[in-house]
Structure 1
Amino acid sequence: MDKEKSEEFYARLKEQLLENTKWPSKYLYKFIVPSDTDKTERIHSIFDNTGAVIESKKSKKGTYTSISITVHLENPDAVIEKYKEVSKIEGVISL
């Protein structure tokens, strides 16, 4: 995703989060990651010390890992900040 499209995406996401959620609130992130220990550990480290509940499940063939993260955040900007941090990890798909 190019920078301009990603900024549009985050602006739209922020608007939706403000309209549909009362803050502070719990937020559920879902990511699909190649089953690479380094990448999953990097995602875990992004959510360290946030009180996040992280669940991981490998695909049938073990090629990919789905990661669900539930975390209590203060506002939509905090949600977007975490998405941006995770997006720096190559091969991660945000759902």
Structure 2
Amino acid sequence: MDESSQSFKEKLDSVHVFPTLYLFKFIVPEAQIPEVKALFAKHDVKLKPSKNGKYSSVTIQVMMGSSDQVIETYEKAKKIEGIISL
């Protein structure tokens, strides 16, 4: 785990008591929406398209067992081209 991941883990652990319902928010190019849905296949993915329709705001609530699970999910998500984590 690199230094930034360790810092994020410490911040998550100081704010959340795991297991907890964790809110993921992303901005995603429309073409990559299927990849995000596949990453969160068992969960309700809420989409809000941008005005010009090129991007969508994506919100997903997922029960996470640990800060490590949250970080692992962000690591998988960042492999999606053009995704922005909020």
Q: Distance in 1 between matches of 2:85 and 2:61?
A: 14
How far off is 1:26 after superposition?
0.6
Where do residues 60-75 of structure 1 align in structure 2 (5 Å cutoff)?
60-75=51-66
* Aligned: 1:30 with 2:25: yes
Q: Distance in 2 between matches of 1:7 and 1:89?
A: 20
Q: Tell me the percent identity.
A: 38
Aligned to 2:37: 44
TM-score scaled to structure 2, two decimals?
0.91
Query: Structure 2: which 5+ runs fail to align?
Result: none
Residue of structure 2 aligned with 1:55, choices 30, 41, 46:
46
Q: Distance in 1 between matches of 2:80 and 2:2?
A: 18
Q: Distance in 2 between matches of 1:66 and 1:8?
A: 29
- Show structure 1 runs of 4+ deviating over 2 A: 6-9
Report the AA paired with residue 18 of structure 2. W
Query: Structure 1: which 5+ runs fail to align?
Result: 1-5
* Aligned: 1:18 with 2:13: yes
TM-score scaled to structure 1, two decimals?
0.83
How far off is 1:10 after superposition?
1.8
Aligned-residue Cα RMSD (Å) equals: 1.4
How far off is 1:18 after superposition?
0.8
Report the AA paired with residue 7 of structure 1. D
Aligned to 1:94: 85
